[in-house]
Amino acid sequence: MISFDFEYYRPDTLKEAVDIFLKLDKEGKSPVYYGGGTELISMARVGSQSFGAVVDIKNIPECKVLGFNADTLCLGSAITLSDITEANYFPLLSKTAGRIADHTMQGKITFGGNLASTIIYRETVLPLLLTNARLTVAGKNGLAEVEIGQVFKERLRLQKGEFLVKATIDKKFLIAPYFHVKKTKNEKIDYPLITAEGLKLDGYVRIAFSGLASYPFREANIENMLNDSSLEFSQRADKIVQALSGVITSDLYGSAEYRKYVLKNTIVNILETLKDQ
Amino acid sequence: MPKTGIGVTVIRKEACNKVTGDAKYTNDFISVGILTAKMVTSTCAHAAIKKIDIAQASSLPGVRAIITGDNCSVIYGPLLEDRPPLAHKKVRYYGEPIALVVADNEFIASQAVFLIKVEYEPLPVVNSPSEAIRQGAVILHENLGSYKTVVEDVYPKPGTNICDQKQIRKGDIQKGFFESDIIEEARFILPQSDHIAMETRTAQAKINADGTVFIRSASQAPHGIKKEISKVFGLEEGKVIVEVPFVGGGFGGKASIQLELLAYMASKAVGGREIKIINSRENDIVTSPCRMGLEAIIKLGASKDGKLKAIQMTYLVDTGAYSDTGPRLARAIAVDCTGPYNIDNVWCDVLCVYTNHPYVTAFRGFGHASYTFCIERMIDKLARRLQMDPAEFRKINSLLPNHTTPTQVKVTESNFGNLVACIDKLKTLINWEEGDRLEIGNDKIKAKGMACLWKTSNSPPDEVSGVFLTFNEDGSINLNCGCVEYGPAMKTTAAQILSEKLKMDINRIYVNMDVNTKYSPKHWKTVASMTTFMLGRAVLRAAEDVIRQLKSLAAVVLRCPPENLEVEDEKIYVKSDPAIFLNFKDLVHGYKYNNGNSVEGQILGRGSFIMSDINVLDKETGKGKAGPYWTVGAQAVEIEFDKKEYTYRFIKAATVMDAGNLLNPSMAESLVKGGMCMGLGLGSRECFNYGPEGEVLDTSLRSYKVMHFGETPQYLVEFVETPQLDSPYEARGIAEHGIIGIPAALGNALSVAVQAELDELPLVPETIWRIKTGGVL
């Protein structure tokens, strides 16, 4: 039971959505954009989030795109994780989406909702970081397309009233050799102890992580270490573990020391697997 | 589908209603105008309550009443009266109820709960059982000395955190260790965990104008609620009526009384109006009682030829903030403390200690899954030191007829069964001869571990069960009993026993699925795997009662001595000429002669049973008999372990249990499989993690993990049948037992695979890595 009242709006156009959001905000109703609701509902139920209004963006056609436009794959923010895995246009993203929560939840959780989540993992951002995806954001001045790195720093950083409309990914990334490793405390369906995923492009391995730190990330210096062919695989892994030791977290799911152990193994395994590809 | 009796698979009587969703549970009964009560719970594990500000919440329209500990002076406990239903001046665990809001509906009640502001002054916490008994430990209950003990055999130690101590002194421990060639010693840590029944706990209450109190609850103990509510609130027993419909899983968690007290208080506060209180999953995990934690230190000695000589044990039961069922768990551990092994020299202390953790109650296995982990790990350690096959080691040390148990009960084939036969059968079932550790390539190891189990009940010595039988005019029977149906098909078992005794079609026997204390005879509680035994004996007596009446009436009508008659298939016939018979339907509501004259009247059957030869255990030595018999078994787990990743998966879990006599084979197999599944959960993941201030960190299913269906290994179940001569049709209780040895078998399998001593639970990969490597990269 959610112990407060809130208003519900379901605009049909991007402009309507932004307008109503800003209007509600002006009225002091602390509105939020609403996708699948899995997070807002569960957080509101236990009293850790409150809002006076929700603006449901699932009826806006631009947020529901899922397909190709010339040389890019377009992924609307209101498509569900199940939509992504069933269409399977980008195997790495499908793998990622298919390992978030359980099957029932995947039918509700939206792509945009996962990216904008307050829960620290936001695993669907990893394929976007790896492919330098572009994000389309709706705001009071209309649509803007930006590089992912400009708006996603640890988390999605949008201005008040803005919301994510879609992500676009260059087609060439979709066929690159990839890897996806999700390690949990114990079971298949859980938050990640570490999710490491990446692509091999022109002989260079890109890598991004979730679960390791309190935010998902991809870092150039880590990739340089990973690709440093002057070092043995295990030396590269050691170097990466050392470089990241300041950000690796301890929590209910695992201690920092254990995460480091798993990270080292994971990196060696990845390098072993990719060496012939 | 067989129509009569025992030893055949019978589909549970409520199956159709359950699979179609037609079966009704407590919260499905919502009447017009029912109010909702909701708890405010503590966010501190130990604190003085400085202030509870209810002003804002009280002024909310639709809020009918707000109760705090200041409005309620009762203090409750089934064994030791130490728990206020609402915290008074002090909270002692994270999640403890502090205030109760009664409102028109759940929405308003939830709003009010968020508006109640509680000011705490945090106190230092006791965050583990060993901390609780440390010199200078913070004392949770400074008034322990003045608390009333409800039963004679609970021994609190004022000025400490020990609310009870049970001990076993058998033989001469010094001599035993002196005679031992090899001695192993180890320490074990098992955290608390939760039941996670599918239906969270819930209760409803109303008080009629004439003072009759009506409680409906998801409970394993309707008659217990009636007794306790009347006692705690000073009501006449006859004025308290408790109804329990189907219960959506209990696992022991619904044998305690908590929400029912709050429900009564809430209804009282609003002039007796009907109210309901429903646990959220979070409340059910942390506010309502959970499963005990355990710390243990064990020293076990054996001679070179592999005979166990002496055992010394100290168990610390983490009962949490209040005693509730803790002392009984302590006793259960003491009674069976050695495992099913013959050891002449036993020294065991079980301390039931308060901590600032959630308080505990029964959980499937009643303490046995916990201490069995410790004992069976010890047995494996010692077998390996002796370079003996762990299965053989268990066999040569098994209790046998004429041995004595830790409480000095003489073992017989009937009261104990045949453990050796279980081990032998298990060895074949799990292909033990293949070896317990096989390298299978890719850094993977296939490993097997074994554990034995035994369990007797720990009921009070004078508990009862009863049955009423009435007939329908067509000759079919209504069986009215007081046990609760929360899963193990008890009602069906009762019908099977009656069907066997009367040699009639089980489909013509109708059993009450709900229990109403106004109409149903008392059954102690549906716990302890004792229902078949107690209720079954009552059913047999009731059957004999109606047979006697039927034969007596038929004898008059047929003009023959009653002993010439036999009952079968709803007929009474003359043994020497079955063609001479009367149908039940012609007799059960009285017999009418051709001229209209009628005799007798309704045949009404009754059967009653009381536990007979059970004692209160001797305080000093523990000598005495705690339960009528044991159920023994042997279990094994096979896993595939990844040496590099420290991860593992289950391949097989196997159980061979001595069932005495299998009454319902498929049901028995399912019960044991369910137990094994829960055991794997306890072994591999289920636990409470506590923060430094004693707060429970896993209060939702986001972080508290249970077994997923997809992780299910291959389950193998077989039975041995050694008759239990006092039981109905020689059957032994088996409802809990599937869980008991599984965490230990898993611990043994993993310890073999990892080549490290894994002496704590749950065994998540990080724990295994930490123990194996010392946590060093």
**pLDDT value of residue B592:** 97
Q: What average pLDDT does this structure show over B299-311? A: 98
Helical residues (DSSP H) of B398-476, grouped into ranges: 413-416, 419-429
Task: Give me the helices (H) in B477-530, please.
Answer: 490-502
The C-alpha atoms of residue B695 and residue B356 are separated, in whole angstroms, by 8
pLDDT of residue B97: 98
Q: Which two tokens stand for residue B494?
A: 């009762």
Whether residue B1 has pLDDT greater than 60: no
Which of these, B458, B457, B522, B540, lies nearest to B484 by C-alpha position?
B522
Q: Provide CB contacts within 8 A for B180, sequence distance 6+.
A: B301, B302, B303, B309, B310
How far apart are the C-alpha atoms of B404 and B401, rounded to whole Å?
Answer: 8
Q: CB A255 to CB B282 under 8 A?
A: no
Sign of torsion, CA B113 B119 B121 B122?
Answer: positive
| A185 has a chain B CB within 8 A of its CB | yes
With beta carbons under 8 A apart, name residues in chain A contacting B698.
252
Q: Is A149 on the interface with B (CB under 8 A)?
A: no
Residue of A nearest to B769 (CA): A258
Across the interface, whether the CB atoms of A252 and B770 are under 8 A apart is answered no
User: Which of A157, A173, A189 is the last residue in one of the domains?
Assistant: A173
Q: Confidence class of residue B349 from pLDDT cuts 50, 70 and 90?
A: very high
Residues making up chain B, counted from first to last: 777
End-to-end CA distance of chain B: 61
What integer pLDDT is reported at residue B724 of this predicted model?
98
In a domain? residue B10 = no
In a domain, A1, yes or no: no
pLDDT tens for residues B543-595? 999 999 999 999 999 999 999 999 999 999 999 999 999 999 999 999 999 99
Same domain, A209 and A126: no
Where are the extended beta strands (E) located within B611-708? 631-642, 648-658
Per DSSP bridges, beta strands A53-56 and A7-9 are parallel
- The burial class, CB within 10 Å (0-12 / 13-18 / 19+), for B73 is exposed
Question: Are A193 and A167 in a shared domain?
Answer: no
Average pLDDT, integer, range B74-89: 97
**Token pair for B728:** 């109905």
Residue B76 has what pLDDT? 96
Rounded distance between C-alpha atoms, residue B686 and residue B698, angstroms: 10
Residue A191's domain spans which residues?
Answer: 176-274
Q: Does residue B733 fall inside a structural domain?
A: yes
- Using DSSP's 3-state secondary structure scheme, residue B375 falls into helix
pLDDT tens-digit readout, B434-465: 999 999 999 999 999 999 999 999 889 999 99
Same domain, B418 and B468: no
Q: Mean pLDDT over residues B488-516, rounded?
A: 97
CA distance linking residue B46 with residue B355, whole number of Å = 10
Neighbours of B770 (CB within 10 A): 19
Same domain, A97 and A180: no
**Which residue from A minimizes the CA distance to B771?**
A258
Q: Counting Cβ atoms within 10 Å, is residue B103 exposed (0-12), middle (13-18) or buried (19+)?
A: buried
Find chain A residues with C-beta within 8 A of B764's C-beta. Answer: 185-186
The domain spanning residue A32 has which CATH number? 3.30.43
Is B539 a domain residue?
A: yes
A186 contacts on B by Cβ (under 8 Å)? 684-685, 705, 764-765
- A-B contacts at Cβ under 8 angstroms: 54
The per-residue pLDDT of chain B, averaged, comes to 97
Any A CB within 8 A of B304 CB? no
Asked if B703 lies within 8 A of A4 by C-beta distance, the reply is: no
CATH of residue B306: 3.30.365.10
Tell me, yes or no, whether A31 and A121 share the same domain: no
Going by their DSSP bridges, the two strands B275-278 and B117-122 should be labelled as unpaired
- For residue B2, is pLDDT > 70? no
The answer to the question of residue A270 being in a domain is yes
Window 246-265 of A, Cβ < 8 Å to B: 252-255, 257-258, 260-262, 264-265
Residue B116 has pLDDT above 70, yes or no: yes
- CA–CA dist B98, B120 (Å, integer): 11
A233 touches chain B (CB under 8 A): no
**DSSP string over B239-256:** GEEEEE-B-S--TTTTSS
Per DSSP (E only), the strands in chain A are: 7-9, 31-34, 53-56, 66-69, 72-76, 134-139, 142-147, 152-153, 155-156, 163-170, 178-183, 194-201, 204-210
Determine, yes or no, domain membership for B150: no
Do both B723 and B595 map to the same domain?
A: no
B569 and B593 assigned to the same domain: yes
All residues of chain B having their beta carbon less than 8 Å from the beta carbon of residue A253 are 703
In DSSP terms, A205 is beta-bridged to A200
Q: Do B769 and A187 touch (CB under 8 A)?
A: no
- Percentage of the residues of chain A whose pLDDT score is greater than 70: 100
Q: Are residues B239 and B105 in the same domain?
A: yes
Domain extent for B406: 290-459+615-773
Residue B529: the pLDDT is 93
CATH of the domain at B239: 3.90.1170.50
pLDDT < 50 positions in chain A:
none
Total number of domains constituting chain B: 3
Which chain A residues touch B282 with a CB distance below 8 Å?
A: 46
> Token pair for residue A113?
């909702």
- B469 with B582, same domain: the answer is yes
Residues B775, A255: C-beta atoms closer than 8 Å? yes
Residues, chain A? 277
Q: How far apart are CA A19 and CA B683, in angstroms?
A: 54
Distance from CA of A185 to the nearest CA of B (A): 7
B703 touches chain A (CB under 8 A): yes
Q: Report whether B434 contacts B467 (CB < 8 A).
A: no
Is residue A2 a part of any domain in this protein?
no
Query: Which amino acid is residue B47, in one-letter code?
Result: A
> Are A189 and A133 in the same domain?
no
Alpha helices in A27-157 (DSSP H): 38-45, 81-87, 91-98, 103-106, 111-115, 125-130, 148-151
pLDDT classification of B72: cutoffs 50, 70, 90: confident
**CATH code for position A208:** 3.30.390.50
CB contact under 8 A, B645 and A264: no
Which of A187, A252, A255 lies nearest to residue B711, judging by beta carbons?
A: A187
* pLDDT at site B776: 84
